[in-house]
Amino acid sequence: MKLSGLELVFDRLAAPLPIWRARISPEDWQPAALAVAAAGGRLVALWGSDRRTATHAHAGDPGGFAAGVDATAAGAGGFAVCAAYAVREGLAWLDLALETGSPTFSDLGEVFPAAIRMQRAITDLLGITVRNARDTRPWLDHGLWPAGLRPLADETRTASANRSPLAGAPAPAAGAQPEALPADYPFVRVQGDGVHEIAVGPVHAGIIEPGHFRFSAVGEKVLRLEERLGYVHKGIERRFTELPALEAHRLAARVSGDSTVAFAWAYCMALESAAGCPVPERAQSLRALMLERERVANHLGDLGALGNDAGLAFGLAQFSRLREDWQRLSADAFGHRFMMDCVVPGGVAAEPAPAQLDRMRAQCDAIEREVLALRAIYDEHAGLQDRFMGTGRVSPQLAAQLGLTGLAGRASGQAADLRCDHPWPPYDRLKVTMAAQAGGDVAARVSVRFDEAIESLRLVRELCAALPAGPARGALVLPAREAFGAGWIEGWRGELFVALELDAAGAIRRCHCHDPSWQNWPVIEHAVIGNIVPDFPLINKSFNLAYSGHDL
């Protein structure tokens, strides 16, 4: 692999997709981003790492920290910031070493706007600052963390040992007022005659996760939307460093409940690439079978919710019925409605019986007939189409500029799907047809969901009919050296990425899980401009982004 105009030495990781890693100098950091952008590439993820002397959990110490490991002696040392770029050849992981005393790096927000919030999170979690950054407001830290706390910094991990860095404070007495309140967040104000603000959230009606949305509007027309997320920050990335590498797939599966298969597969792919572990062909097909079932379940749920948000309760009732039948069969075949903990290092932990494979194929036939009938109803319903068409439009040009990805990107002319662009086993033999639209509105995102659901039903049928024989899990031995691995998966929402660092003792030094919602949340702020406030729930649902998967 090469990046135009740069002399970088890339090492290919032992992953089933083309993933390379290279060290980069501070002088080449921004030029590399410019080279990727000029070649039509995109930013997949941006994260930081503390590679100074740290303590980690080991297989014999799953609940806490074992003896310290000298990361410097293992060839790491200091802080680092990393960027993963999707380019024509595959994925390029660029690793920039930083000074330990005052770590800092140059802003990438001018090249890739999606980097801005990722950079703010890096500062909150590690104390690494960004030179010439346009936005330096805290992102994950809402002002309730102890002063100076950096959850992923080595000194925080070492000092807190086997407890949360937020633990230790006595529980408040019943009825007592909290000692601290969240810091006032400096929202960008819109001024002018008739402009008013509407504050929505972070607590919402129903059971959705918390997020705050600040609308500036004239009448019902939205002039600006600004989001404030991070309310469900759980410390997952720090928790990874406290778990044995062979058990941490269970934590990855809980990053986002609607993407449990995708995140577990991405983590296992990263661990398997770090260890150089081959995965049996049968396990690859079973993973894909579960991933496509996860995709169908989410599309069925969203198609019903979108109909309901536009006033067609019939759509919600019908798609909810189909989704329930779908998940019940997943529970029968894999032991869990969401197939939780079925993807494990080296393969899978659950195999459906032949009779269950036959039931899945028959179910695909039955559900496809109903989905096609419901699509005709949606397409011909004048009231529904009046709400869908032209609402929340993101033009292909804006989508490319902002880095819109996944199904929302494909609805705005961004033709990218890892199953098609870099098909890994078993997708290299399945020949996936990519769903794409150019309209960029709610109608286009609904259309992509219908197309993808139908294609996934085909894939499930094909996988069930030709499941390879052989073992469903291979042995995985952790390397006795410092190692890096990466997982890159096309989940139902878009591409998921997991970067994994193991120290010389096989313990997790850093595990970064990235959800495509990082790229897509800022785009909603643009999609809603010019629309009326009552259309926001519909626009938001047409993206259906993760809060929990974003606020790690």
Name all domains of the chain by residue range, CATH numbers in brackets: 11-160 (3.30.460.80), 281-475 (1.10.645.10)
pLDDT at 163 over 90: no
The pLDDT-based confidence of 204 (bands split at 50, 70, 90) is confident
- Quick: pLDDT tens for 467-495: 999 999 999 999 999 999 999 999 999 99
Q: What percent of the chain has pLDDT over 90?
A: 84
For residue 428, give the nearest of 281, 260, 213, 229 by alpha carbon.
Answer: 281
- Quick: pLDDT tens for 374-385: 999 999 999 999
Q: How far apart are the first and last CA of the chain?
A: 31
| CA 45 to each of CA 23, 262, 427, 465: distance values in angstroms, whole numbers, following the listed order | 16, 16, 23, 36
What CA–CA distance (Å, rounded) separates 547 from 497?
16
Q: Which residue has the tokens 């040992």?
A: 161
Query: What pLDDT score was predicted for residue 552?
Result: 87
Length of the chain: 552
pLDDT at 166 over 80: no
| Average pLDDT rounded to a whole number, residues 168-190 | 70
| Average pLDDT rounded to a whole number, residues 368-374 | 98
For residue 130, give the nearest of 94, 156, 98 by alpha carbon.
Answer: 98
Q: Which residue has the tokens 């970088």?
A: 8
Question: Longest Cα pair distance anywhere in the chain, in angstroms?
Answer: 71
- Quick: pLDDT tens for 25-79: 999 999 999 999 999 999 999 999 999 865 444 433 333 323 233 333 334 579 9
The overall average pLDDT reported for the chain is: 91
Alpha helices by DSSP H, 146-279:
154-160, 236-240, 249-252, 260-275
What would the 3-class secondary structure string for 306-336 be? HHHHCCCHHHHHHHHHHHHHHHHHHHHHHCC
